[in-house]
Chain A
Amino acid sequence: MNKSKAAFLFSAQRLGTQGLYMWTFTFAEVLSIRDTRKRWNHLLTLLRRRWPGLCGLRVFELHDRHGLHVHLVTNRFIDVNEARKLSKIAGWGRIHVMRVAVEKAAYLAKYLSKDREPCLKGWRLWAGFGEWDWSRVKDIIFETPRSVIYQACKAFYCWKGNSDFRSRMELVEKIFRRVIEEG
């Protein structure tokens, strides 16, 4: 699990306690990533105009054969027929919605574990929308053996800033390996 995935899971836990709705938006044909994102922004604008209190989380999934999919988790009921009309206006194809338990929203986190494709570099693979305070990656602190070693090295070598980050991580990795090997 990385920090992004942890932030997503915490957000999903807070989003709904009674249950969530999981939406999947897809296209009939494969579109370029840029076009898909434009259409997604258009659709989200339409959805939020129609349901101003709408809030939730969205996840991008780059499918092996069908291009970019958008998954959405919301905590309130939306009329699927109206949503279909709006998605048609924004140029989307199929819509699928199902009610899921809060724990099942973690299913979407599996897309965050996939390797990031080069075309998605610099993109937010997931994001919150609406008037609510979701967890941000910057708010997550984690404690792993590597982070403990990093902090110890930082104090010992008086590391400041982020310069030379790669060589620092190489050193941390070497120490970690030695800790494993020597127990």
Chain B
Amino acid sequence: MEKLIEAMKQGKVFLIGEFRGAKTDVIRYVDKKTGQASAFTATNYLVERPGALEVAMISQQVGDGTVDPTTIKVTAQKGKVYAFELSGMERVRGVFKARMPQGAEPLPI
């Protein structure tokens, strides 16, 4: 909790909600004309915030370039409440989507 208050004093923005699950995937882009390709690994956190946002989808890029998703361990436990640091947010087709900075971890409340 002290960690969270300290971070909030520094001006960081957090979303507090119930952690429902997370999944890490590799996202790939290919230019079919030139064959150029790019890939990165991202973890998607599903967070519930009943009454306020209902469901929020928070994505976080993992490492630089591609990282094997099986090596990524998410320490958060399903059903517990955490504070998720946000670096950006938007509402797309009614779904609240946000980004978590690289390296940040959900802080238990």
Chain A residues with CB under 8 Å of chain B are 1, 3, 6-7, 9-10, 13-14, 115, 133, 135-136, 139-145, 166, 169-170, 173, 176-177, 179-183
Contact = CB atoms under 8 A, between A and B. Distances in A.
B95 interface: yes
In the A-B complex, the 6 residue pairs with the smallest Cβ-Cβ separation, listed nearest first, are: A6-B29, A181-B21, A180-B21, A139-B33, A180-B46, A10-B36
A14 B35 CA distance: 12
B90 A140 contact: no
Interface in B13-62: 20-23, 25, 27-34, 36, 38, 40, 44, 46, 55, 57
Interface of B: 20-23, 25, 27-34, 36, 38, 40, 44, 46, 55, 57, 90, 93, 95
Given A1-B29, A177-B46, 11 more contacts: A10-B36, A135-B33, A136-B33, A140-B29, A141-B30, A141-B32, A142-B28, A144-B27, A176-B44, A177-B57, A181-B20
A87 to B, nearest CB: 32
B95 A142 contact: no
